[in-house]
Amino acid sequence: MARSRNIKPSFFMNEDIVELSCEARLLFIGLWTLADREGRLENRPKKIKMSLFPADDINVSEQLSNISKYGFIELYNIDGIDIIQIVNFVKHQTPHGLEKDSELPDQDGLYTVYDRNPKNKTIVGKPHLLNKDQLAEFYNKSLISIDTNGVKTHQEQITDTESEQLKQDNNSYETVSISDQNALIPESFNLIPESINKNICPSNDDPVPEQANQNFKNEIQEIFEFWKTTFGKNDRTKLDNKRKSKILTRLREGYSVEEIKNGVMGCSKSDHHVQGQFTDIELICRDAVHLDRFIGYSQQIRFIPKTPEPERIDLSKYKVVEDRVW
């Protein structure tokens, strides 16, 4: 069933989205409403067309391929099922707490499931990634067990926030059955604040993954100074937390300083990004997809046609008469 999802004004200003046709852009938005809480849906072009474009002549299969080329969706097959994964969906959408768990696996064949309270609402915390043969056991297992000493959770590390939420809901607990978790889902009305980043579903304050003793302070400064020099930035341009966070995340993902510098150079070779002023280091390092694309740009050779030299006039062919050339 279709669900309400969030869309931000910055979607229409995204420098990659504008490269897609209007049909592809509208299709991409429509996919959000058809996807489950993990941003997954079956890749069935005919069914998608009937849901989104019942009165229009649009080649959904072709447009899905175009969207995937820009890294906005991933297409894969697991157990004979063709699946569409909307990239970064779970980071930027807020599904209703009663929305059921996804029935489609990720690219590794794992299913994403959530702990829920007796009212079938998701409990604050990370989801579980399970194999298909583990699902029945998970849903048959009591999330909360009651003993003579009071209420205890099956999670040893449940947070105080989770405990408080459970108490507010009811103070009595029981097993969440498979039939409950497959109940009909209300629409989501939780909106996400707008961001100034020009991503489809931007998030400028993404938390940086924690890794001990890996702050890359010197490397970040080196990359930032290289970017400033490449694009002629003045001393008023500061290394703020947003820029630092994006650079740090890419370094922690394994990109070297030279690779990120190549990404900066690649951006400087893109007329589209330079003329549109889409050259901030935060954009270049926004995610791995963008950085890889800019690194690819750096490996492209730009051919600049030579300006023909002006033809030289041989004055020896002319006679000088009264100090004039004839």
Position 60 in a domain? yes
- The more confident residue out of 205 and 320 is 320
Position 121 in a domain? yes
Burial call 266-275: b when 16+ CB within 10 Å, e when fewer = bbbebeebee
- pLDDT cut 90: percent of the chain above it: 45
Q: What is the pLDDT of residue 41?
A: 96
> Which residue bears the tokens 């080649």?
59
Distance CA 314, CA 309 (A): 15
Question: Are residues 140 and 104 located together in one domain of the fold?
Answer: yes
Q: What is the pLDDT of residue 322?
A: 58
Question: Are residues 49 and 75 located together in one domain of the fold?
Answer: yes
Is residue 173 very low, low, confident or very high in pLDDT (cuts 50, 70, 90)? very low
Q: What is the pLDDT of residue 119?
A: 77
Question: Are residues 110 and 68 located together in one domain of the fold?
Answer: no
Distance CA 280, CA 246 (A): 11
Domain count, the chain: 3
Question: Are residues 75 and 118 located together in one domain of the fold?
Answer: no
Q: What is the pLDDT of residue 148?
A: 37
Q: Answer yes or no: is pLDDT of 204 > 60.
A: no
Q: What is the pLDDT of residue 155?
A: 44
Question: Are residues 228 and 150 located together in one domain of the fold?
Answer: no
> 51, 66, 90: which is the final residue of a domain?
90
Q: Answer yes or no: is pLDDT of 282 > 80.
A: yes
Position 306 in a domain? no
> 44, 64, 90: which is the final residue of a domain?
90
Position 128 in a domain? yes
C-alpha torsion angle, residues 16, 17, 23, 29 (rounded to 10)? 140
Position 325 in a domain? no
Amino acid at 201: C
Question: Are residues 127 and 157 located together in one domain of the fold?
Answer: yes
Q: What is the pLDDT of residue 67?
A: 95
Domain that holds residue 65: 1-90
Token code pair at residue 173: 């607990």
Strand partners, 75: 84
Cα angle value 285/288/294 (rounded, 5°): 65
Distance CA 34, CA 182 (A): 16
Q: Answer yes or no: is pLDDT of 178 > 80.
A: no
Cα 176 to chain centroid distance, Å, stands at: 32
Distance CA 51, CA 168 (A): 39
Position 310 in a domain? no
Position 5 in a domain? yes
Question: Are residues 75 and 30 located together in one domain of the fold?
Answer: yes
Question: Are residues 126 and 144 located together in one domain of the fold?
Answer: yes
- pLDDT cut 70: percent of the chain above it: 69
How confident is the prediction for the chain on average, in pLDDT? 77
Position 155 in a domain? yes
Sorted by sequence, the CB contacts under 8 Å of residue 147 that are 6+ apart come out as: none
Question: Are residues 69 and 31 located together in one domain of the fold?
Answer: yes
Which CATH number characterizes residue 14's domain? Answer: 1.10.10.10
Sorted by sequence, the CB contacts under 8 Å of residue 238 that are 6+ apart come out as: none
Question: Are residues 8 and 72 located together in one domain of the fold?
Answer: yes
pLDDT digits (tens, 9 = 90+) for 105-159: 999 999 998 888 877 778 777 888 998 888 888 877 744 433 333 444 444 444 4
- Looking at residues 200-218, what average pLDDT do you find? 55
Is residue 309 very low, low, confident or very high in pLDDT (cuts 50, 70, 90)? low
> 184, 208, 227: which is the final residue of a domain?
184
- Looking at residues 248-252, what average pLDDT do you find? 92
Question: Are residues 227 and 175 located together in one domain of the fold?
Answer: no
Question: Are residues 236 and 172 located together in one domain of the fold?
Answer: no
Q: What is the pLDDT of residue 68?
A: 94
Look at 11-25, 48-62, 129-143, 270-284 and tell me which has the smallest mean pLDDT.
Answer: 129-143
- The more confident residue out of 99 and 326 is 99
Sorted by sequence, the CB contacts under 8 Å of residue 127 that are 6+ apart come out as: 112, 113, 114
Contact 31, 73 (CB under 8 A): yes
